[in-house]
A and B are shown apart, each in its own frame.
Chain A
């Protein structure tokens, strides 16, 4: 069987589609194989934030900064309004202890070139007139943005198709074999076979199953996030908001111990964003419950109560639906992007956990450069899959 494609991408989430688009733009013949349909994975059930403020200084923050720049021009490039907006974001602080930790965190981020500051109660009230009296201060960054992930996915898919990219849905990959000429033969559950020089595993939380097909263990697990959606409402304040409570508990383990057990168990970190259509997304949890995508009343109740605590006017607003998605969470909190050294021609682009929407354009660009053998402007060495093999095998 001869080679039909230059590149086969497994998974049509936002990462697979972004990679497919940039590779097609470079003239590669691309096939995307999708188990179900577009939006089946995390990218179809998530928030819309491009939040830089929550990131620790390092490669992920650098990638996010580059991605936000790419998003600015992407609506024009793809010919679709991606509902990209930069309303800025605030992380609301309720206690003196949290304030001290956030002050240090902000200093670190500033050193990394991020424009962010701590604002006092008066400023908070100005930007968030409905916020409760319990909020004593907040961070503020004007650069934080948002985008509609569904629109991004369909736009990458449609522009990609115009450039010759093919997408096959209901095509679950079940086998991957190296054939005699060094190409990869991919088999699907409905018995089809495709051959390509390069394979990209962009299966998000399912990436480990694809890894098994070529004999590698990919340390990614699904981490469930639940979200409650409100009816459409006018804007409550100038920016989207998060609470410092969860971020501080990540930065400072001592705080985590003091948090209410149920908040810790469910990994609740309060987020409150308003979409271009006016629905508010109230989130979210971080739970290891396998591939279960159900929502639970317990979590929804905690999250909407937090919304009412921060913004008492929310008591008058209705929840119209809820959903849950599975973040592809990598063992060390960083995505895996690159070619697997022991398997030339086999790439991984997965494990973006809670940042895949923010990082989609830059990930697609990096994958494109890697496949074409070009150098990347960012040093992505530490995102290589080999970091795990080095650790386990003890070889440098």
Chain B
């Protein structure tokens, strides 16, 4: 049993990530879609590398060869009120 939390924002454990891989996830994007690891408030800044490490360990794929998960703006949380003031 490995209950170490890998994604703190979404409270996803190492075991859940390993289970996702065993159930057939073959990319870190798929792991994200399946477990929500990386979809939290910090948008994976804290957990992205850790998820990749578990993925590398479980699949035997080298870290450098792993296709990183996609992420899009804003890269940091932006209050909605800021969107309105900014007019370009």
Contacts and interface: CB of A to CB of B under 8 A. Distances in A.
Given A37-B27, A39-B33, A318-B78, A305 B83 contact: yes
B60 interface: no
Given A150-B33, A157-B24, A167-B24, A322 B74 contact: yes
Interface string A161-184: 100000101100000000000000
Nearest to B86: A301
Contacts of A150: 33-34
B80 A304 contact: yes
B37 to A, nearest CB: 13
A296 B73 CA distance: 9
Contacts of B72: 294-295, 321-324
A331 B86 CA distance: 37
Given A301-B86, A316-B79, A321-B74, A231 B41 contact: yes
B74 to A, nearest CB: 6
A169 B2 CA distance: 28
Interface string A197-230: 0000000000000000000000000000000001
Contact of A317 (B24, B25, B74, B79): B79
A393 B25 CA distance: 45
Q: Is the interface of A mostly helix, strand, loop or mixed?
A: mixed
Contact of A318 (B25, B71, B73, B80): B80
Contacts of A161: 24
A318 B77 contact: yes
A87 interface: no
Contacts of B80: 230, 304, 307-308, 314-319
15 contacts: A154-B34, A158-B23, A158-B24, A170-B26, A231-B77, A304-B83, A317-B79, A318-B77, A319-B79, A320-B40, A320-B43, A320-B74, A320-B77, A322-B72, A324-B72
Contacts of A305: 83-84
Contacts of B26: 37, 169-170
B83 A44 contact: no
Interface string B59-88: 000000000000111100111110110100
Contacts of B48: none
Contacts of B86: 301
B33 A44 contact: yes
B30 interface: yes
B29 interface: yes
Interface string B28-65: 01100110100111010000000000000000000000
A247 B34 CA distance: 33
Nearest to A161: B24
Interface size class, chain B: 20 to 34
Interface of A: 36-39, 44, 150, 154, 157-158, 161, 167, 169-170, 230-232, 277, 294-295, 297, 300-301, 304-305, 307-308, 314-324
A150 to B, nearest CB: 5
Contacts of B71: 321
Given A37-B26, A37-B27, A277-B36, A295 B73 contact: yes
Which residue, of B27, B43, B83, has the highest number of chain A Cβ atoms within 10 A? B83
A93 B73 CA distance: 31
Contacts of B29: 37, 39
A169 B80 CA distance: 38
A170 B71 CA distance: 21
Nearest to A154: B34
Contacts of B41: 231-232, 320
Query: Of residues A161, A301, A314, A318, which shows the largest number of chain B Cβ atoms within 10 Å of its Cβ?
Result: A318
A146 B41 CA distance: 23
B79 A318 contact: yes
Interface string B10-29: 00000000000001111101
Nearest to B88: A297
